[in-house]
Structure 1
Amino acid sequence: MRAVRLLAPGELACVEVPMPAPGPGEVLVKVAAAGICGTDRHLYLGEFPSRPPVTLGHEFSGTVEAVGAGVGLAVGTPVACDPNTWCGTCDACNRGRVNLCARNVATGIHRDGGFAEYAVFPAWKAVPLPAGLDLAQGAFAEPLACTLHGVDVGAPRPGERVIVLGGGVIGLLALQLARLSGAEVLLLTRSEGKRALGSRLGACATAPTPEAARAIWPDGANLVLECAGVPATVAAAPSLARAGGRVVVLGVLAQGATVPIEPFDLLFREIRLDFAFINPFTTTRAVALIASGAVEVAPLVSRTVSLTDASEVIAAPARPGDVKVLIDPGR
């Protein structure tokens, strides 16, 4: 079968590999759709720790084709992959902080993932999808689950003001979740097209720059959700929060990147600065939100590419205006 493999940092290729077989406690899934994430670009550039050679792809859905010993999941079940497999025994896991597991094994990062025609992963990480749900929408379960964790940390309340920094997939999902909480939301992104999409998805205002956002809400926001994952937006986020406000960083910066922060400002205005990492116990909620239509994901698909084209897409900078590029292994 074909798979997109990270052979080494800076070396990515679509190659032929043997068909995997599920071991005890595992499922074999025929991949229907897989999303290209900014983390995949970080992996390609060597900016995020991984274990190459490895098949990338941690946002994907498909249909169960075979199961290993001890698995009760029926063949033919549509599923999404929750890629993070925590150990359950380390200090973090024992404190319920499973997303901080010292021995987490992430499908598509530490073990072969979903940029392939078929993928094998632990059956307890296969999240059933409702019958009739478009499998391409099921591939959004992982990014929405991560966004849910970030919004849970920020805890927007009805009537509060929320600024979302970044018009990519995480930002546009965060916008919708904040709106569902009853908050007013301002989307800050340089992209005119993404500002228009944000307005369609419920933003009450949009801005191309932090200065423009401050002109709209001079007192700042109760909550700022940084979803762009670049140093400039992380540095700007505290200045957009009102006194006593909260900042949550969801965006993934390159390992080793640094950002200037003014502790006096954070202290004097008592700004809370938090970070949100991956998706502890949120994937089932994400699937329910997608299936109900409470969170729209179809408008976030910019284009769909083949496995053959995926390496070039991942290795290149994201196109202006792209939100989510999906891989269809059947192409």
Structure 2
Amino acid sequence: MRAVVFTAPGVVELRDVPEPEPGPGEVLVHVAASGICGSELHGVRTPGFRVPPLVMGHEFAGSTDDGRRVVANPILSCGRCDLCAAGLRNVCRERRIVGVHTPGAFAERVAVPAGALVPVPDSLGWTAAGVVEPAANAVHAWELAGAPAGARVGVIGAGAIGLACLLVARSGGAARVEVADRSEERLAAASRLGADAAVSRLSGEYDVIFDAVGAAVTHEQSLALLRPGGAAVWLGLADSDAAFDAAALVRGEKRVLGSFAYRDADFAAAVDLVGRWDLSWVDTFPLEEGAEVFTALMNGRATPVKALLAP
């Protein structure tokens, strides 16, 4: 079986790997689309949670041996703890992630627990199915912010997660959504998707800011531009440095909310949403070109905004 394998720091390669063998309770998925995530680009540059050799790929859709069309929720929780019982599987203390702790979907086939599979309708194309997972992140962030219809929203970062935040905020009734990025191509995509402003840097005052970058400077910006009582939702993982004015946070009664992955309801909502989205910012490449596409993105190429690999 062919797969794109993380083999060493900064290196991914197309290789032949053994066929996956489903264990008890697992199902074989024939991969139709698998998205390259920014966290994977960062993880290959600076290995940490992901340890080579590893087949990555946690955003994927495909079909089972019996012909069911599915997307996979890659969060594998224990199912027994207090957090799982409260519906917080995404922050289960013992969680594992397909493509991080187990072999993922940058391959022709992948074995996953049957309970991780979510059916998708025949009307949903593989491109849309392939972006359900990043869309679910945006749905979760919007819910954490309080789903504030009528809000002035800022989005820092016009990668896949940032554009998904824009689209979710638009569908959720935000009064105005502005998006910031350094890439002209990504700002053009944001404008096409309905951003009221697509700029190199946010300015003004916002009710909610989604930081889809997670660098120290964007953490600082997300707090500085909030109105008193506003909420900054941090989704990006670029930097562990918070780098904000804690005194201003207190005096303005501002909130910082960490947003990790999604709950099951967010994932289900994303399946319903993506079929209505303009996905012109998503490009699909053959799996055979996956190592080249991944390396180019890792080394700073701004386009495509979202790359899917298709065996």
Indicate which of 242, 252, 264 corresponds to 1:269. 252
Q: Is the CA contact 2:223–2:249 (under 8 Å) kept in the aligned structure 1?
A: yes
Q: Is the CA contact 2:284–2:307 (under 8 Å) kept in the aligned structure 1?
A: yes
The answer on 1:115 being equivalent to 2:106 is yes
Q: Is the CA contact 1:39–1:48 (under 8 Å) kept in the aligned structure 2?
A: no
Partner of 2:287: 307
1:217-273 CA-to-partner distances (Å, cap 9, x unmatched) read 3xx00001111233321221111111111100011225xx31311111111111111
Q: Which structure 1 segments of 5+ residues have no match?
A: 66-74
Indicate which of 284, 287, 290 corresponds to 2:274. 290
1:125-176 CA-to-partner distances (Å, cap 9, x unmatched) read 1111101321121011111111111111112422210001111111111011
Q: CA deviation at 1:2?
A: 0.5
Partner of 1:279: 262
**What letter matches 2:197 in structure 1?**
A
Q: CA deviation at 1:51?
A: 4.3
Partner of 1:5: 5
Indicate which of 195, 201, 224 corresponds to 1:203. 195
**What letter matches 1:277 in structure 2?**
F
What SS does the aligned partner of 2:249 have? helix
What SS does the aligned partner of 1:327 have? strand
1:114-134 CA-to-partner distances (Å, cap 9, x unmatched) read 100111101111111101321
Q: Which structure 2 segments of 5+ residues have no match?
A: none
- Cα 1:276/1:206, change in 2 over 3 Å: same
Q: Hey, what's the Cα distance between the residues in 2 that align with 1:307 and 1:239?
A: 42
Indicate which of 245, 252, 257 corresponds to 2:237. 252
- Cα 1:158/1:11, change in 2 over 3 Å: closer
The answer on 1:153 being equivalent to 2:144 is yes
Q: CA deviation at 1:30?
A: 1.0
Partner of 1:106: 97
Q: Is the CA contact 1:237–1:247 (under 8 Å) kept in the aligned structure 2?
A: yes
TM-score by length of 1: 0.87
What SS does the aligned partner of 1:177 have? helix
Q: CA deviation at 1:321?
A: 3.8
The answer on 1:181 being equivalent to 2:166 is no
TM-score by length of 2: 0.93
Q: Hey, what's the Cα distance between the residues in 2 that align with 1:42 and 1:48?
A: 10
**What letter matches 1:261 in structure 2?**
F
Q: CA deviation at 1:21?
A: 2.8
Q: Hey, what's the Cα distance between the residues in 1 that align with 2:47 and 2:144?
A: 25
Q: Hey, what's the Cα distance between the residues in 1 that align with 2:300 and 2:95?
A: 28
Q: Is the CA contact 1:190–1:208 (under 8 Å) kept in the aligned structure 2?
A: yes
What SS does the aligned partner of 1:7 have? strand
CA RMSD of aligned residues (A): 1.7
**What letter matches 1:322 in structure 2?**
P
**What letter matches 1:300 in structure 2?**
W
1:265-295 CA-to-partner distances (Å, cap 9, x unmatched) read 111111111110012212111111123x1x3
What SS does the aligned partner of 1:299 have? coil
Q: CA deviation at 1:299?
A: 1.4
Partner of 1:230: 215
